[in-house]
Amino acid sequence: MRASTTITNAAPSNARTQPSSSSLSSLAHIRVVVWDVDGTLADSASLGFDSTNAVLRDAGLAPITPAQYALGTKFTTPRRLAWHATGDEDHACGRELGDAFDARYVALVSDKTAGFYPGIKPLVERLAANGVRQGVLSNACGAYARAVIEANGIGAFVSATLGADDVPRAKPAPDGLLQAFRAIGDDVDAHTTAYIGDAPSDGAAARAAGCVSIGVNWGSHDLSSADAFDVVFASVDELERAFFGE
């Protein structure tokens, strides 16, 4: 299945025979990798949490706890801020609060506030050296995703970096992944493509797009009992061994 034809004929998430974790102990067949950002590439939880509470305080609203922040990361930024502010992710206040958050969040990005997890940058570089094409898709805004990529020095290895505001529908819809596939190349075959993320919505988006869904257990979500992914890895070293058979 080519991503370019999947756009208008995306298979439902249960239409593909899902491989077992054991059948994906090797990822050597993967030729395209699209990465999530927060909790997958970048350890940015403190930046997101602190920026959220600053925006809420500026608006005269009660601050949130780290646990509430982690729960809210399943939403896009405007819906997350609306949920923190009112309990209703669809409340109209989300857009204004989300804009304030994005302005603060993007301005504070650095390799310290949104640095990559240990081992991630060498893995990105090694995949690129072995001919694996790569992209990035985040449910944060595109300006933030691109700032994180540049701050961590992997822009040369990434063909497409997209945020929720760059795509018709955010995750768990497959739109962003399909758009990333097209940007990476019209020869992309979804069956040799993987999306790597730390949230159940990442797994749902990958399955809806027809590609391999890879979960990582070092981000904001505990995936130890999740069935949203074809396979889940506990560490960057484990993920690298799956790609390179070491």
Beta-carbon contacts of residue 60 (< 8 Å; ≥ 6 apart): none
Q: Residue 42 gets which letter from DSSP?
A: B
- Report the DSSP beta bridge partners of residue 241: none
Helix-helix angle 93-107:77-86, to 10 degrees: 120
- The C-alpha atoms of residue 21 and residue 233 are separated, in whole angstroms, by 10
Beta-carbon contacts of residue 225 (< 8 Å; ≥ 6 apart): none
Side-by-side strand order, sheet with 160-162: 160-162, 133-137, 32-35, 193-197, 212-216, 231-233
- The C-alpha atoms of residue 134 and residue 102 are separated, in whole angstroms, by 25
> Could you tell me the CA-to-CA distances from 77 to 48, 99, 138, 179 in Å, in that order?
10, 9, 11, 20
- Residue 67, number of CB atoms within 10 A of its CB: 8
Q: Which candidate in 36, 102, 166, 198 is catalytic?
A: 36
Catalytic residue at 36? Answer: yes
- Residue 184 tokens read as 């990476």
- The C-alpha atoms of residue 5 and residue 9 are separated, in whole angstroms, by 7
- The answer to whether the CB of 207 falls within 8 A of the CB of 190 is no
- The C-alpha atoms of residue 137 and residue 156 are separated, in whole angstroms, by 16
The catalytic residues are: 36
